Homo-oligomer: A and B are copies of this chain.
Amino acid sequence: MDPHAPEDRPATRMPTMRDVAQRAGVSRQLVSLVLRGGPGPSLESRNRVLAAAAELGFRPNASARLLRQSRTRLIGMMFTALNSFEVRVAERLLERAADIGFGVALGPITDRRTTEIVIRELLEQRVEALACFNPDPGSPALRQALGLMPVVWLGERSAEPRADVVRTDDDAGLAILVDHLVALGHRDIAFAGGLGGTVGPDRAATYRAAMTSRGLADRIDQVLVGFGEEDGATAARVLMARVRLPTAVIGCSDHCGAGLVATFARAGISVPGTVSVTGYDDSDIATLSYNDLTAIRQDVDLTVDATLDGIQRRLSNPASSPREVATQATLSIRSSTARARTNA
């Protein structure tokens, strides 16, 4: 037996263009030409090459191709695997990028994989652009990337002048949400949220602004929690502990809204009979029949479109100055909101 590691000899080797060429009885270059769909090869050659490739199960070596071409046509995507909105954007970006001939290198953030590590990996893959959800602004790799390629900052405001920013227009979103509730007769409209990154405080401030501009400044009622289900549950308990419930509660996310609804339900408080509840994101969780949350829709398609547009614009014209895009928020009205109870 060979005492040396048998690992460096794979059981079977993946076929290369050379193997295909040999089997088809043509040159390696012709194989390349045929597989790229270029003009020139005769029908006869084309068929023989395609047949040989199919029989051998040839798959082009992505590393070799990327190395040879000056362009990798890869977009790096950094996101949190736990956040459903981010995952949906990543999925959609994968599909839409393929339509314009781009691949996507996924870089999920975890406890052990920081912004720095993820972006470093993506740079080593020679991505041509980056899309990052809420990155750590202090990461050296990110700073380097900002000077090298288009970077799209997703999700929250940023003071970074070299990055495109794509975020949902929270101002308009919360405004139409408050208007919707006011139209239903609500005045005691509480807000559950305010914690978390830049977005949390932003949304809370926007809530206060929307209330104030509608003459409801004295009804502002904010329960400081974060974005998760458990945060919503906490907020619900805080509100239930009071003498009087508000007639409506705006959850800072769908998860938060679901936590509010579930906790109210288990306490026997009817939604929307006693309290109207809203979410924010319009994700799958909002559409579940037992939540059925009225929610601000953060449009995945609009976000992905704006991201790709920004990347393409700055790839074709590197001198183009970065932009901030606030995608329009729309309102999905469902059964978790209804007319305010009269005897508040």
Contact = CB atoms under 8 A, between A and B. Distances in A.
A10 B7 CA distance: 44
A183 interface: no
Interface string A91-131: 10011000000000010101011000000100111101000
Given A59-B120, A120-B59, A289 B317 contact: no
Given A11-B318, A124-B59, A290-B233, A268 B266 contact: no
A67 B64 contact: yes
B71 A81 contact: no
| Of A64, A147, A266, most B-chain CB atoms within 10 Å | A266
Contacts of A62: 63, 124-126
Contact of A288 (B60, B230, B291): B230
Interface stretch (A31-39, A257-265, A296-304): A257-265
A271 to B, nearest CB: 8
A229 interface: yes
- Chain A, interface size: which category? 35 or more
A66 interface: yes
A262 B263 contact: no
A15 to B, nearest CB: 10
Contacts of A10: 70-71, 128, 149, 318
A147 B11 contact: yes
A81 B70 contact: no
A113 B95 contact: yes
Contacts of A284: 82
A266 B292 CA distance: 12
A238 interface: no
A57 B144 contact: yes
Given A6-B316, A11-B148, A81-B87, 7 more contacts: A12-B148, A60-B124, A64-B67, A94-B113, A95-B110, A229-B285, A259-B289
Ranked nearest first, the 5 interchain pairs of A and B with the lowest CB-CB distance are A262-B290, A11-B318, A265-B265, A63-B63, A63-B66
